Structure 1
């Protein structure tokens, strides 16, 4: 019998995976989300900006329609991706009270739809706002997750102060969400194909294909960007190299694990050449199996930026791989400890 993931781990699917389908509007966003819960994963992480037309101040009727649709298929929402519009102009930041007022309707909508948490980028809220939100988080039985991803390693000087602030709050209602785009051993095969077709120099392509984690590769990427020699048709894809794709290892997460309550199991494609997809899952399963982790692990597909694939098939296949890999590595870690 195949091992099962440990008790307290919940596998989810992100509605972000279906972003192209939602945007095409051939079906309603509500039908797409309830379809995910009915046929892919019972628990769904919600991107409300794609789903609720009234976002960022979701109307009760719109929220209730989704809640009732999910209840009909025994689905539920795990985390709702919140938004914090900090600036009223390019140079003028909202005062603290306006920032709070911007978030509160989103928290109330998350509670109304039955979510267990909301999500913001790491450090965006800041300590003052987090402290103002704490009473409401307790009242609504919500956890606020601050997300780290890509090149936002825990030791990054831009990230470490926010992690320290969360640790000082010492509140189970304010936790960290880790996106395993931080843990990429190599770049996605299909991404490399797109970059090669885009006209990058053979030297840089060789570095991207063979030496992703070498610091010299990062220097070469930066040099090409500064030179202005990035081909225009792949400029957006190129920026992933500086932001969305990370070079960390699971050992880099060890010290912050007590703060972590959720993971995004980010994947770009399903070509597992050299363990590009499975290795981060295997390493993560071992780490979490030894740590007593409980929380959500959400399949999040970022590759629809350049791949035109069926998100339902992609997510099902990824969840199957993730469940088997996480379960096996967690069991092995527990047995050896």
Structure 2
């Protein structure tokens, strides 16, 4: 932590996706490892990744989870819930009433496990917020929507949510910024992964040029595909390069200032921190002071998304990221 009154650091278990999928850890083992390495105490858990019973939670599991939290000395900070309409392959999307109830089930589980914040997604239509916010208030839980790349503070969907937030003025609604939406460059590690997949330098040069252009990410991805195919690049190589359009975006890092007042939790997205304590793609020196000086006192969880294409040690990456955040916040 930086101080009792300033932003705190923690970690989302999503950072350890490779370690989880390779069965190096089960949930108790992973939480004990996080605690042993001093990467908490504040933690975020992805409901559908880590909790077998989710979206519902039994009394027995809730009791065992709370015992585990007490054993490790960790602090449940955020539970990530999902806003999917397509719940099972081959089935029709669920209707609005079912989607509302689906969210209520997940919010009940978050509250039952002791999480004060539930991360939601923009797949929840803005017109359903008036039906869910009062229920979250009853539970005493805050539902924060994740502003994830390619979105940023100025995205139309974010603006629409902001208008509804103003209208409802509910203490149960807020923002969860994800810094991948305001990257300044494509991570070198991501470019290296594309090279390993066979992408040529000419394709990566084209990628870097188009990625910096204004416009929506899906449109820029389409432009890259069209130009690259015309130049004879293989579809598989184009696909490897195109990852950059969908998990990070090039928007103004200072734009987060517009969301500080209603920010309830932060995803400190990162792709790699070097030996000098500098993140590969995101300008943390600009972003973190916006929240610190704006009065944010919640948690910034380290979220290493390099696992999508890299096999570096996630625990070491999180350690480096937290050290970087503490240094910047203390400056």
Query: Is the 1:284–1:326 Cα contact (8 Å) retained in structure 2?
Result: no
Aligned to 1:222: 222
Farther-moved stretch of structure 1 (181-190 vs 129-138):
129-138
Query: Is the 2:147–2:175 Cα contact (8 Å) retained in structure 1?
Result: yes
Aligned to 2:9: 11
- Say if 2:3 is the partner of 1:35: no
Q: Report how far residue 274 of structure 1 moved.
A: 11
Task: Write the deviation string for residues 222-245 of structure 1: whole angstroms up to 9, x where unpaired.
Answer: 323236736454555434322211
Which 5+ residue runs of structure 1 have no aligned equivalent? 329-337
Aligned to 1:260: 263
Q: Which stretches of structure 1, 4 residues or more, deviate above 6 A after TM superposition? A: 216-220
Query: RMSD in angstroms over aligned alpha carbons?
Result: 2.9
Taking structure 1 as reference, are residues 268 and 316 closer, same or farther at Cα in structure 2, changes over 3 Å only?
A: same
- Cα distance in 2 for partners of 1:94, 1:144 equals 21
Please give the TM-score of this superposition, normalised by the length of structure 1.
0.85
Of 18, 21, 42, the residue aligned with 2:19 is 21
- Say if 2:199 is the partner of 1:200: yes
Taking structure 1 as reference, are residues 199 and 176 closer, same or farther at Cα in structure 2, changes over 3 Å only?
A: same
Aligned to 2:104: 104
Taking structure 1 as reference, are residues 256 and 227 closer, same or farther at Cα in structure 2, changes over 3 Å only?
A: same
Query: Is the 2:197–2:240 Cα contact (8 Å) retained in structure 1?
Result: no
Query: Is the 1:47–1:81 Cα contact (8 Å) retained in structure 2?
Result: yes
What pairs with 1:268-307 in structure 2 (closer than 5 Å)? 268-271=271-274, 276-277=279-280, 280-307=283-310
Aligned to 2:212: 213
Aligned to 1:147: 146
Task: Write the deviation string for residues 28-52 of structure 1: whole angstroms up to 9, x where unpaired.
Answer: 2232124323432111101121211
Taking structure 1 as reference, are residues 87 and 222 closer, same or farther at Cα in structure 2, changes over 3 Å only?
A: closer
Q: Report how far residue 314 of structure 1 moved.
A: 1.6
- Say if 2:322 is the partner of 1:323: no
Q: Report how far residue 217 of structure 1 moved.
A: 12
- Cα distance in 1 for partners of 2:187, 2:244 equals 11
Aligned to 2:56: 57
Query: Is the 2:62–2:112 Cα contact (8 Å) retained in structure 1?
Result: yes
Task: Write the deviation string for residues 148-181 of structure 1: whole angstroms up to 9, x where unpaired.
Answer: 1222122223432123222322212100110001
Please give the TM-score of this superposition, normalised by the length of structure 2.
0.86
Q: Report how far residue 270 of structure 1 moved.
A: 1.8
Paired residues in the alignment total 325
Taking structure 1 as reference, are residues 27 and 258 closer, same or farther at Cα in structure 2, changes over 3 Å only?
A: closer
Farther-moved stretch of structure 1 (195-204 vs 311-320):
195-204
